[in-house]
Amino acid sequence: MTPLEPGRYLIVVEVAGFGFHEVYRRVPDDPASLPSIFAVERWEKPIDGVVPLPTITVWQNGLAESKMVYVAGGEFEMGAGLDDSSPRHRRKVNDFYMDETEVCVADYETIRPARHADDFDTSLLRLPKRSVDWAAAAHVAEAMGKRLPMEDEFEFAATNRGTTTFPWGEEPLAAGITEIQSVDVKTIDVCRDFPIRNMISNVAELTNSVPGAYPGSAAQKVELIADSKGMNRIVRGGWKQQSADEHRAKQRESIFCLASDPNLGFRCARSKRPSY
């Protein structure tokens, strides 16, 4: 067996005739270092030179995606003439499922309960869960039988297969987002072709995509240069501090995978078929 280099790996596990799961696991640089509490960043002490990683639960087909929105894949024009979002290029996206809204506090707490009663404010139950890093978000998504979206899936849905500038059409927001609202509040920010909401408002959203320049790009910002160990992740959507013009479906930023932000949340996705 060939040893894996240190890094974060997407692992696809399928049980024929039953189901599959797509999760991340980390091979540590130093197995003696202190691991995280989250499955995607956890490992055990080496046994005969082998580092045990957390087991993976395979979800039966039809369970995790039962309340998700189905998005039939296809080819679309991804990107725009905007810094790290250029150049435009053709991208194929496979069929997938996506949550209608961001993961809210109530859903998050079913997987990761607050440590102390004082940490949990019941008035926040339906607000998007914020201030989580990629490791925490990926852990919760995995426990739900899902994963975080890839950035091309996010843009495919948010632009209605590449046919619109904004989820709802071509007209920009009249003003920037000034407050974070409950996931139950329905605003203009709903995809024209799918019942998926809040994709470029409320909070910015984590994806599983590792930063890297688009094919054919002549320039790269430092923060978007690809890293082989998956130390950073692409962030999509918009947050309340942005101007109305910045709330665009093609906007992309990056963040260290173990960093969080009070305006950053996440939603979940799931492949229709295993991604091999």
Length reported for the chain = 276
Question: What DSSP string describes 58-100?
Answer: PEETTTGGGGSEEE--EEEEE--SSGGG-S-EEEEE--EEE-S
Helix (H, G, I), strand (E, B) or coil at 197: strand
Angle at 113 between CA 109 and CA 118, to 5 degrees: 105
First to last CA, the chain: 20
Query: What mean pLDDT is reported for the chain?
Result: 87
Assign a CATH topology to domain 68-271.
paralog of FGE (formylglycine-generating enzyme) (3.90.1580)
Whole-prediction pTM value? 0.91
pLDDT band for 163, please (50, 70, 90 cuts). very high
Average pLDDT over residues 84-109: 92
Query: Taking the domains of the chain in order of start, what are their residue ranges?
Result: 7-60, 68-271
The whole-number pLDDT of residue 222 equals 44
Average pLDDT over residues 196-219: 86
With a cut of 90, say whether residue 215 has pLDDT above it.
no
What are phi and psi for residue 24, nearest 5 degrees? -110, 145
What are phi and psi for residue 197, nearest 5 degrees? -120, 160
User: Any idea which of 15-24, 68-77, 252-261 has the lowest mean pLDDT?
Assistant: 252-261
With a cut of 70, say whether residue 265 has pLDDT above it.
yes
Tell me the pLDDT tens digit for each residue of 64-92.
999 999 999 999 999 887 666 778 889 99
The whole-number pLDDT of residue 213 equals 80
CB 260 within 8 A of CB 204: no
The whole-number pLDDT of residue 220 equals 52
User: Any idea which of 39-53, 96-110, 169-183 has the lowest mean pLDDT?
Assistant: 169-183
